[in-house]
């Protein structure tokens, strides 16, 4: 099964529905397309992504656990990118090989699914797409869902290799804040970027990094779908040059990936996510903050 004719980073619910039908009707039993639910919620939201997957999911969907199984365990920061070894081990358990086309969705439409896309990219797997509109769009289109406990998955073999250009740490970013070849773009809402409101996490300073630009992730979305490509292009052209490396930050490394996905769709290919994001930066007095 080939990647879709439309941009490979993003697929419609119509495309996915047809692809799943084609796979179900195929004469061989190899699954070259696997659907992952990468749902995650903000701190303080009383919802369980794993339980909601059991209650309602796209047929055959598996849980891509960005907060636990697919997160670095030796840190106090939330859902940090795990090692390549841990990523490969957990993805193999999901029945995914390096030949698998992965389609990722979330239950909010377009939120944490982009994080899953970025994680696969950072681990060297390019056969990955995000479902535009996520589970809400699937349901709105009238397509069937399933519920109940997940069936046992036959493990596969997935090899991961970290692509260092896709991720940066705080010290590395701090050295690039005055570099004109780099544009640091913050996905948080404007009031948080400007420091006019308190951060939702306790002990985190308000404001932004010196020279950073603000592009709230919500400005790229409309009801869980990406806005038109021309509008995305205009947004990025207004705050960066095509020749610049784009480094994305947000509250904790989730919505920064929405910006990375959007930028990739309009041809910006030198993309990096600051994984610790403001949860790390705002808590450490060593790193400069302006309002």
Q: Residues with catalytic annotation? A: 250
Q: What is the largest CA-CA distance in the chain?
A: 60
**What is the residue whose two structure tokens read 């390549």?**
84
Q: How crowded is residue 84: how many other Cβ atoms within 10 Å of its Cβ?
A: 16
- Rounded Cα distance between 154 and 92, Å, is 9
- Rounded Cα distance between 193 and 182, Å, is 19
**What is the residue whose two structure tokens read 């904790």?**
252
Give the length of the chain. Answer: 291
| Token pair in block for residue 77 | 């920061």
26: left (phi over 0), alpha (psi -120 to 50) or beta: beta
DSSP-assigned states of every residue in 199-241: -SSTT---SB-TT-EE--GGGGEETTEE--HHHHHHHHHTT--
């Amino acid at each position: 099964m080939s990647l879709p004719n439309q941009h490979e980073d993003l697929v419609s619910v119509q495309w996915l529905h047809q692809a799943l039908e084609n796979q179900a009707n195929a004469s061989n039993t190899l699954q070259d397309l696997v659907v992952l639910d990468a749902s995650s919620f903000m701190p303080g939201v009383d919802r369980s992504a794993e339980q909601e997957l059991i209650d309602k999911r796209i047929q055959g969907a598996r849980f891509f656990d960005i907060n636990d199984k697919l997160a670095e365990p030796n840190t106090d920061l939330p859902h940090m990118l795990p090692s390549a070894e841990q990523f490969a081990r957990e993805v193999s358990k999901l029945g995914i090989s390096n030949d698998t086309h992965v389609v990722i969705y979330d239950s909010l439409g377009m939120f944490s699914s982009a994080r899953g896309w970025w994680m696969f990219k950072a681990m060297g797997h390019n056969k990955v797409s995000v479902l535009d509109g996520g589970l809400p769009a699937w349901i709105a289109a009238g397509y069937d869902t399933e519920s109940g406990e997940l069936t046992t998955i036959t493990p596969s073999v997935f090899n991961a290799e970290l692509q260092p250009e896709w991720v940066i740490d705080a010290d590395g970013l701090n050295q690039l804040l005055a570099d004109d070849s780099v544009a640091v773009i913050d996905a948080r809402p404007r009031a948080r970027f400007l420091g006019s409101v308190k951060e939702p996490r306790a002990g985190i300073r308000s404001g932004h990094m010196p020279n950073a630009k603000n592009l709230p992730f919500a400005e790229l979305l409309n009801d869980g779908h990406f806005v038109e490509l021309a509008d995305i292009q205009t947004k990025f052209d207004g705050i960066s040059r095509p020749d610049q490396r784009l480094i994305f930050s947000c509250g904790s490394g989730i919505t920064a990936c929405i910006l990375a996905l959007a930028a990739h769709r309009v041809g910006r290919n030198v993309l990096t996510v600051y994984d610790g994001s403001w949860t790390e930066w705002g808590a450490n007095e060593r790193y400069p903050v302006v309002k």
